[in-house]
Amino acid sequence: MGAPSATLDATFFALSDPQRRGILERLGRGTATLSQLAGPSGLTLNGIKKHVGILEFAGLVQTEKVGRVRECRLGPATTLGEAGEWIETHRRTWEGRLDRFERFVEGAE
């Protein structure tokens, strides 16, 4: 578990930007082209392309060039799943630790 995971790095980093989380939410409602993603964001096509690139590098989205358009869709759910597992695992030890702390407090008074 302690092995440093580049996948986790990329995934968490990709999720750390509201613009990118917005793209994911948008893609959750169906595929979109780069222009369609850029529209509501107020960003340049280039800016969007970079964000999508980061999301794609993390495996969170997949893109495909069809005609003169690049279609973006969500990637395999396993990528998010890995990040979710990390959080769940550590949240358990977290709460375990808090339990121990509370027992310690009770025992001390």
Question: What residues make contact with its own copies under the rule CB under 8 A?
Answer: 1-2, 4-5, 8-13, 15-18, 21-22, 24-25, 28, 30, 74, 77, 80-81, 83-84, 86-88, 90-91, 93-95, 97-98
70 binds DNA (CB under 7 A): yes
Query: Position of tokens 């979710």?
Result: 84
64 binds DNA (CB under 7 A): no
Kindly state the helix (H) or strand (E) to which residue 73 belongs, with its residue range: strand 69-74
Q: Which of 7, 8, 12, 19 binds DNA (CB under 7 A)?
A: 19
* Least distance CB 68 / its own copies (angstroms): 24
Measured CA to CA, the distance from residue 27 to residue 75 in angstroms comes to: 10
Measured CA to CA, the distance from residue 55 to residue 79 in angstroms comes to: 11
Lookup: tokens for 73: 């869709």
Measured CA to CA, the distance from residue 83 to residue 7 in angstroms comes to: 9
Q: Look up residue 60 and give its DSSP letter.
A: S
Q: Which of 1, 29, 40, 68 binds DNA (CB under 7 A)?
A: 68
Q: Which residues bind DNA (CB under 7 A)?
A: 16-17, 19, 33-36, 38, 42-47, 49-51, 54, 65, 67-70
